[in-house]
Amino acid sequence: MHSRNSKWHQHLSRWIFGSMGRWWIVSLAFWVAGLGVLYVFIDFLRLPLIVGTLLAAEVTTILRFVVNDFWVFGQDRLAWRRLWQFHIACAGGAAIWWSVTNVLPRWNVHYLVASALGSALSAIFSVVTNFKWVWRNRRTLRTAAELSIPEATRSASAE
């Protein structure tokens, strides 16, 4: 029984303190930062809501990519490919966020509350695209592909 609890504890610890836990920390931090950026664009710069939400999404997307790339997923350097993939992945989440943020105020929901709801709805989509596409373990994929090559072919190409 102790062994089962120990394995469960190890799994939970890896999840909380590993890349998934760091991803959620970054996501929550940028959720708050995004609300601040949106507030500045709308209330201080007096941009129209549609323009302010698009600009806020772009600014926070680029900054979040840099933090995710280095801190969450431990990359040594930024890569244009990951940035492009992250941008595409964020487009789906951003479309969810932007739509909710712009539609709910038509029903007298404050734009900051609408933004928070849109963020929550796009979170699962973001987790899947970030972990399963943008930062998937390419070494594992490469190793799997190498395993499908017959040994004789590999040794002949090595010569």
pLDDT digits (tens, 9 = 90+) for 129-148: 999 999 987 654 444 444 44
Burial 55-76 (b: 16+ CB within 10 A, else e): bbbeebbeebbebbbeebbeee
Is the pTM value of this prediction over 0.85? no
**Residues counted in the chain:** 159
Domain boundaries, the chain: 19-148
For 129, other C-beta atoms within 10 Å of its C-beta total 19
pLDDT at 141: 43
Say what the alpha-carbon torsion angle 34, 40, 42, 46 is, to the nearest 10 degrees.
Answer: -160
pLDDT in tens, 79-106: 999 999 999 998 998 898 889 999 999 9
Q: Are 34 and 60 in contact (CB under 8 A)?
A: yes
- The share of the chain scoring above pLDDT 70, in percent, equals 79
